Structure 1
Amino acid sequence: MDLRESISNQTHLSLSLAKHIIATNTQDCNLVLSALSIQVLLALIASGSKGPTQDQFLSFLKSASTHDLNSLSSQLVNGVFADGGPSGGPRISFANAVWVDQSLHFKPSFKEIVDDVYKAASDRVDFQNKPDEATNEVNGWVRKETNGLIREILPRGSVDGTTRLILANALYFK
């Protein structure tokens, strides 16, 4: 993997995503987005897919392989988004999470990528019988990862028995 080329490809993708979102935003309001967060979650999805679906993600993400995507994402998660912490640097938190319905299972290889490459929290929850509890768990995670700035990302009723998977990304910067 050529790191410079990967970064150039992901920068182009991020700018394209931002331009598209800005162009299609019909509301007269401020807009804040993290195109890099979107790219990281799409790379995570690509890592969990196979066949034509994975090929489409790789094409969209301008990457030759999930290995290249995971390598770049790992460097971003471990380096670029490293917290300045108590030393006086900027406070930054970049967190990912995956919740899957308890009727499904993480494939061991995907679980390893989720844990080791993306440093993502992962859990199996009961979307079918306890959707409100799953909603509360996701909202609690978001509240924790944003230091309480975002208290609710999923409104009541947004998760139901048809939900099978939730991917989340929280970016906190101060």
Structure 2
Amino acid sequence: MASQVNGSNVVFEEGIANFSNSLYSKLDRTGNEFISPYSITSALLLLMLGTGKTTKNQMKSVIFEYAEPDDIDQGYKRLNDELLTRTTKGVSISIANRLFARKGLNLLNTFSTRASTYYGSDVELLDFVTEAEKSRLTINDWISKNTNNIIKDMIPKGVVGANTLVVLVNAIYFKGTWKKEFNKNDTSQRNFFVKANEQKLVNMMYGEFDAKSGEDLSLDCKILQLPYQGNQISMVFVLPNSGDGLSELESKLTVNTFKTLLSSLKTQETIIRIPKFTMTSEYDLKPVCTALGITEIFDDKLADFSEMFKSDATSVRVTDARHKAFIEVNEEGSEAAAATTLNLALASARIPDPQPFEFVADHPFLFVIQDDETGTPLFIGRYAKP
């Protein structure tokens, strides 16, 4: 973890980790879930750059609930720049932000400059009025291109049109090869217990090698941390000991308890069984943001985007907020991608035993792909139903 030294970005990084946990906590969490909290946060911070007064204060107080960094935009740039250095042999990560604005719209130069400087976001002008469908396809093509063609058809027909002023987009893509790959020949069909009385056959990967693993008695769970090549990003699996204990475990997990779990792990011989899986999730972010307390951006009477537009833009609100994410986990590693769009329009997360430690994920579990140096969760999900 980053240490608290002069010039450290730790306040920002911890704020992002806490908000990531808050985002995940507001999901339905009855079946499979998968999000990129980093993608959602990136889009919200870029949006916040254009807000003023009470709207900005509300967003700041929710995203940075415990401590506010001295310079949020600089904090984002520092963290984002650091994450982009993780690309190495066997690991690829890309993060992109973009502003698509209506032709003729007067975006404030201060906003456009800061969006470019701190968020790497260029402004692309589109004709939402007379070429709405072409504009929609342009945005979707950009998202597809920046997620290695994984996130497609992000914005459906009818979402952008004559009232659309700006579409803010974040796209994140990650592909990582395990430091220690699983042998495909050892993958076999085994039962996964969805519930005590419901089981399904899954392709279960198998490995027996030294890995960071352990058990936490207070949270009644087992933990496994598998690094990708380069040892900077890892996938953490948290498995309740009880077959139906995932929801209770999730309710107890905080950023601090998660850090404690990881710090308690020991490198030990571990028998590992994890299902191969792919998962695609789509979310309407409006109820998620509203549940967290971010409400003004959706209200045309209260929303203040005075730091984005010249004073003639009134009755502007976020009319559509959506998130789409995909992950594949297999013997070689993991591939994950996500995109977040926010449309602004006119109103209308032990000591080794003599015997190998066993981590058998044959019932619902939580997983996190995180940057180990900063503790930033890039993706969070739960696997509950094959």
Q: Same fold (TM over 0.5)?
A: yes
Aligned partners of 2:14 and 2:80: how far apart in 1? 17
Pairwise CA distance, 1:2: 5.7
Q: Which has the higher strand share?
A: 2
Deviation string 1:49-100 (CA, Å, 9 cap, x unpaired) is 11111111111122647x621011101221113351xx51411111111111
Aligned partners of 2:20 and 2:174: how far apart in 1? 19
Aligned partners of 2:8 and 2:57: how far apart in 1? 20
- Amino acid across the alignment from 1:96: N
Pairwise CA distance, 1:44: 1.1
Pairwise CA distance, 1:156: 2.5
Pairwise CA distance, 1:25: 5.3
Question: In the alignment, which residue of structure 1 is the partner of 2:145?
Answer: 144
Pairwise CA distance, 1:158: 2.3
From 46, 59, 62, the equivalent of 2:61 is 59
101-110 vs 70-79, which moves further: 101-110
Question: In the alignment, which residue of structure 2 is the partner of 1:134?
Answer: 135
Question: In the alignment, which residue of structure 2 is the partner of 1:163?
Answer: 164
> Which ranges of 4 or more aligned residues in structure 1 deviate by more than 4 Å?
none
Q: Using a 3 Å threshold, how does the CA distance of structure 1 residues 98 and 25 change in structure 2: closer, same or farther? A: farther
Aligned partners of 1:150 and 1:104: how far apart in 2? 28
What TM-score, normalized by structure 2, do the two folds share?
0.41
Aligned partners of 1:104 and 1:64: how far apart in 2? 32
- Amino acid across the alignment from 1:71: Q
- Amino acid across the alignment from 1:4: V
Q: Using a 3 Å threshold, how does the CA distance of structure 1 residues 99 and 16 change in structure 2: closer, same or farther? A: same
Q: Does 1:70 align with 2:76?
A: no
Q: Which has the higher helix share?
A: 1
Aligned partners of 1:31 and 1:160: how far apart in 2? 31
Question: In the alignment, which residue of structure 1 is the partner of 2:19?
Answer: 13
Name the count of aligned residue pairs: 167
**Percent of aligned positions that are identical:** 25
Aligned partners of 1:105 and 1:123: how far apart in 2? 13
- Amino acid across the alignment from 2:170: N
- Decide whether the 8 Å contact of 2:9 with 2:79 is kept in 1: no
Q: Does 1:31 align with 2:33?
A: yes
- Decide whether the 8 Å contact of 2:143 with 2:154 is kept in 1: yes
Deviation string 1:100-153 (CA, Å, 9 cap, x unpaired) is 112422211111111111112321211122111110110110111012122321
Aligned partners of 1:64 and 1:48: how far apart in 2? 18
Aligned partners of 1:136 and 1:120: how far apart in 2? 19
Q: Which runs of 5+ in 2 are unaligned?
A: 1-6, 176-386
- Decide whether the 8 Å contact of 2:102 with 2:166 is kept in 1: yes
- Amino acid across the alignment from 2:99: V
Which secondary structure does the structure 1 equivalent of 2:71 belong to?
Answer: helix
Aligned partners of 1:37 and 1:59: how far apart in 2? 19
Deviation string 1:22-47 (CA, Å, 9 cap, x unpaired) is xx356x4x322111211121111111
Q: Does 1:44 align with 2:46?
A: yes
Q: Which runs of 5+ in 1 are unaligned?
A: none
- Decide whether the 8 Å contact of 2:11 with 2:68 is kept in 1: no
6-15 vs 149-158, which moves further: 149-158
- Amino acid across the alignment from 1:40: S
- Decide whether the 8 Å contact of 1:83 with 1:93 is kept in 2: no
- Decide whether the 8 Å contact of 2:128 with 2:160 is kept in 1: yes
Larger radius of gyration: 2
